Structure 1
């Protein structure tokens, strides 16, 4: 498969690189605290979900000025 020229100029994600290093260190038995990528292990609180829905319904879907 061939990729376009712009594809080769894309840099790897620093966050994913840090996360890979964290996982390797943890696998090697090193006690580390990971501050890289991750997924929360809890649901978003209902009031935050509702605030997001309300903002979308009011058209607040752009970046701040």
Structure 2
């Protein structure tokens, strides 16, 4: 993957356990873990990423 501009999750506190997100080619959204940003990179379509965020927010509200 070409050099990406990673953005750290706003829910991340201090430390190495954060999710980073970057836009990619052809509208793909990339996600990776901050402890190894060049390691495992997950690619998702905007629709799939939106669905993931919606599901996570829904689960968070259930608590």
Q: Same fold (TM over 0.5)?
A: no
The structure where helix makes up a greater share of residues is 1
Structure number with larger C-alpha Rg: 1
**TM-score, length-scaled by structure 2:** 0.29
The structure where strand makes up a greater share of residues is 2
